[in-house]
Amino acid sequence: MSKRDFVFRIGGAAGDGVSSTAESFAKICSRSGLHVWTYSSYQSVIRGGHVWTQVRAGMERLLSHGEDPDILVCLNQATMDVHQGDVATDGAILYDSDSIKLDPKRLRSNVRPLGIPLRKMAQAISPNALMRNTVALGAVVRLLELDFRHVETAFRDIWGDKKPEIVEQNIRAAKDGADAVASLGGPLALGLAYPNVPKPIITGNEAVCLGALAAGCKFLAQYPMTPASSIMHWMAAHAAKYDVVVKQVEDELAAINMAIGAGFAGVRSMTATSGGGFSLMVEALGQGGMTETPVVAVLVQRAGPSTGLPTKTEQGDLNLALGAGQGDWPRAILAPRTPEEAFVLTAKAFNLAEIYQTPIIVISDLYLGEGHRTVDGLDFTVPIVRGMTASDGGAMSEFKRYRHTESGVSPRAFPGTKGYQFIAGSDEHMESGELISDVLAGLPEFVEERRRMMEKRMRKLEGLRKDTPPPELWGPSNADLTLISWGSTHGPAREAILRVEEREGIKANHLEYPTLFPFHVEETAAALKGAKCTLAVEGNYTGQFARLLRAETGIKPDHFYGKYDGEPFSPRDIANKILEVVS
């Protein structure tokens, strides 16, 4: 048997070390020169429940976390009961033979049961119960014929700051697990050749952080909220090295207002949250639009409404981002598809925020934000463009903070700049910043001023449209079906397209949107002009992007496929829908 990739799944209860064991395995795979993609399905409890993590690794660049596991590690009976029937033909199930029972009737053909006394073997080395995971990990490494030296280097990185004997105990436990497999039939013989050239591996949230640092971010205010919390954790861990001020504040109201305050003072600033926290930020975001203050807000979506499913993924917050803040104000909403694009678009967001003096939203989701993916490399030579400032020509006496301009962008002055004092209120104002909302509103002169000031701000949308990436049409031009999606759905959709062409001869292509707003109307119309049939695919119930597409262009997708169960799309899901639509 010869394969180009494999899927590993490990499950247990919260607190069993499922995620950390899978992360260690992902590092071993990336150091073996494999491309890696992970997904964790977990719950809100700290202990108990049922959680599992999947790691897919392969010779070529991956597009999803995969489907049926080739290897399943069961740390408890619940994992065996839930997942044993999912294991692919010719795969293996590894479990503790002293405490977990397998049902052979539920297995697919040629699935090899590997009962090993994991806990007993671990306790012979250490009283730490989690050492059984290391025994299992060593067994998996032997099954896949990975180079054991990557296990040792990974363990030294993970536990290197602890006592040396902890590292040595884990290495010994892994070797014992590997030896146990040797006595139970040996490796799976998948036929993979490992390059053993390490590949960098990061999460989407870490890519956001790296993009922010590359763009010169110096301030983050955030209140922890899954799945955005790891942005704050990473930035706090690296704050001293990169001279970034990180504030964990009392709530999201404080987070957005502090970030806007920092942006007003001239510091590149950011906040990050999920849907519930973003709901609290919307009034302040509108204030940023009115005062024309740059700030970057990262929205990492999870399943809603309300508290919803805090640890599950969804694409249900597009309407929230589009409507954030009462009234109209110019914004851009960027939706990265990959960690590389999360890096690029986050860095771009800081430039856009300062060039156009307005809040910029980067919208992601749990699937992208928390999943580990290998990347080919990131270019940290990011140009930093701070936009028009009052000192860029023009007499001091003529300075008007909100001067009417053709582009809608007015000269910006930083507080404390001598001679450039101005008023910045959240009420409507004149060019000078003086408010018109109290005793002047309604007078004919100021009715006109309100109209002109609103139009000035909204003219920024044309510049934002030109400076944001247009939709990308991927796949053959003569397709039978055109899929339409945004954000993290892109990978499973592309894999589904490749699958239906290979297996069924169906040609499909894919229109993908890294920019959701301002909407690229002309590019969309050109891309869809020759489409024979269209299918919108997004992770929500109502088709929020499909509605935006129709509102902006008049184009209604012929079919819609929404997913709102908390789990990400799989290629199989989308491939089945393609077959349904085409037939």
Structure tokens at 69: 């596991």
Taking a C-beta distance cutoff of 8 angstroms, is the pair 581, 535 a contact?
yes
Evaluate the CA torsion angle 155, 5, 204, 323 in order and state its sign: negative
For the stretch 50-59, pLDDT in tens is: 999 999 999 9
Domain of residue 245, CATH code:
3.40.50.970
Is 549's pLDDT higher than 90? yes
For residue 382, tell me if it sits in a domain.
no
DSSP state of 108: P
Contact 513, 496 (CB under 8 A): no
Distance CA 19, CA 40 (A): 7
Global pTM? Answer: 0.96
In whole angstroms, give the CA distance from residue 125 to residue 130. 11
In terms of domains, do 211 and 338 share one?
yes
Q: Is the pLDDT score of 400 beyond 70?
A: yes
Q: Are residues 109 and 229 in the same domain?
A: no
* Whether residue 278 sits in one domain with residue 172: no
Q: What is the pLDDT at residue 157?
A: 86
Examine the fold and report which residue of 149, 182, 215 is the final residue of a domain before the chain moves on. Answer: 182
Q: Cα–Cα distance between 362 and 321 in angstroms, integer?
A: 9
DSSP conformational letter for 565: S
**Residue 1 confidence (pLDDT) above 60:** no
- Grouping H, G, I as helix, E, B as strand and the rest as coil, residue 448 is helix
* Number of structural domains found in the chain: 3
One domain for residues 232 and 124:
no
pLDDT score at 566: 97
Q: In Å, how far from its chain's centre is CA 329?
A: 26
* pLDDT tens digits along 437-472: 888 989 999 999 999 999 999 999 999 999 999 999
What mean pLDDT value characterizes the chain? 95
Provide the percentage of residues in the chain whose pLDDT is more than 70: 99
Strand partners, 112: 92
Mean pLDDT on 327-340: 98
Q: Which domain holds residue 499?
A: 472-582
CATH number at residue 114: 3.40.920.10
Query: Looking at this protein, which amino acid is placed at residue 105?
Result: K
HEC readout, 506-548: CCEEEEEECEEECCCHHHHHHHHCCCCCEEEEECCCCCHHHHH
Handedness of CA 492, 53, 23, 120 (dihedral sign): negative
Of 374, 402, 418, the position where a domain reaches its end is 374
Does some domain include residue 63? yes
Whether 394 shows a pLDDT value over 70: the answer reads no
pLDDT of 337 higher than 80? yes
**Are residues 369 and 286 both part of a single domain?**
yes
Residue 55 phi/psi, 5-degree rounding, is -125, 120
In a domain? residue 527: yes
Query: Which residues are bridge partners to 247 per DSSP?
Result: 221
Compute the half-sphere exposure of residue 76: CA atoms within 13 Å on the CB side of its CA.
17
Tokens of residue 164, six digits: 């040396």
Q: Within this chain, do residues 149 and 217 fall inside the same structural domain, yes or no?
A: no
Q: Would 360 be classed as within a structural domain?
A: yes
Question: What was the pLDDT predicted at 123?
Answer: 94
Percent of the chain surpassing pLDDT 90? 90
pLDDT over 70 (residue 2): no
What's the whole-number mean pLDDT along residues 549-572?
A: 98
